[in-house]
A = this chain, B = another copy of it.
Amino acid sequence: MKIRRSGRLVDMTRYLLDHPHHLISLTIFAERYKSAKSSISEDLDIVSEMLEHEGTGRLVTVPGAAGGVMFIPTWSSEKALPFIDDLCERVARPDRLLPGGYLYLTDLLGNPRMVKQMGQVFASVFSQKKVDVVMTIATKGIPLAYAVAEQLGVPFVIVRSDSRVTEGSTVSINYVSGSSKAIRTMALARRSLPRGANVLLIDDFMKAGGTIRGMMSLLSEFEAKVAGVGVLIEAEGAEKKMVSEYVSLMKLADVDVDLGQIQVKRGNVDQYFTSDGNT
């Protein structure tokens, strides 16, 4: 059945959003809709214009026989910065404060729409990097890592901090927690990471950075490379960070348990979003 332009636009949008960072040959669309490639090209121009207008991403066209079109999720500054400011406000609510100065974030990290948008912001920041795999450590960062991986069109792997791993042989390392100076263990299934992979590390929280450093040591055991580091919240503190390069969406400036006050501001992510509206 030949499909008209209006129908093609609906289905093409769905298909492209479902396959971020994947090169899709125009032939696939031409056969799918029984339409000429010239019509498909015109459709793609409309989709591209609308995605850029909404600030959610762009289409990249690769010419030639092996070419095609690729959807790259990239948020504009007009979309990203208000989202991050809204996140900061939500995190700063005093009722999040838990004994020991911890923050209750379960509601945010358990809200698929919020997590997906965090993933879209990270995917925007790392869209130019070569990323083969996203890696996180259990438990709370898993949904975020999933969302980032989905938007980058790559798989994700989960490092475990316990030994109850039923994934075959594992590689494990000891590492020093940066803030408590305790020695901990992390483990990853040997099969889950190909040698030489470019790995984006994602975590929900970074204090001194000991956990991220641990994941970096683990990567070197796999002869894999660090493609980048992204954390949802970094704690601004006196401790020297054990990780020099990272992108944070939020920065926890101050937590006053006695007064019940939490100060949260934009993380260093805002340097990736300029005032002209582009990443």
Contacts and interface: CB of A to CB of B under 8 A. Distances in A.
Nearest to A142: B142
A13 B153 CA distance: 20
A209 interface: no
A114 B104 CA distance: 31
A173 to B, nearest CB: 18
Contacts of A7: 46, 49-50, 53
B104 A168 contact: yes
A139 B145 CA distance: 13
A46 B13 CA distance: 13
Contacts of A111: 155
Contacts of A54: 11, 14
Copies in the complex: 2
A160 interface: yes
A166 B46 contact: no
A100 B102 CA distance: 39
Listed residue (A100, A142, A153, A166) with the most chain B CB atoms within 10 angstroms of its CB:
A166
Contact of A157 (B18, B106, B149, B160): B106
Contacts of A110: 149, 155-158, 192
Nearest to A51: B10
Query: Which 5 pairs between the two chains have the least Cβ-Cβ distance?
Result: A112-B150, A10-B50, A13-B13, A102-B166, A142-B142
25 contacts: A10-B13, A10-B46, A13-B13, A18-B116, A100-B166, A102-B166, A102-B167, A104-B168, A104-B189, A106-B157, A106-B167, A106-B189, A107-B192, A110-B157, A110-B192, A112-B146, A112-B149, A112-B153, A115-B146, A138-B138, A142-B143, A143-B156, A146-B146, A146-B147, A162-B162
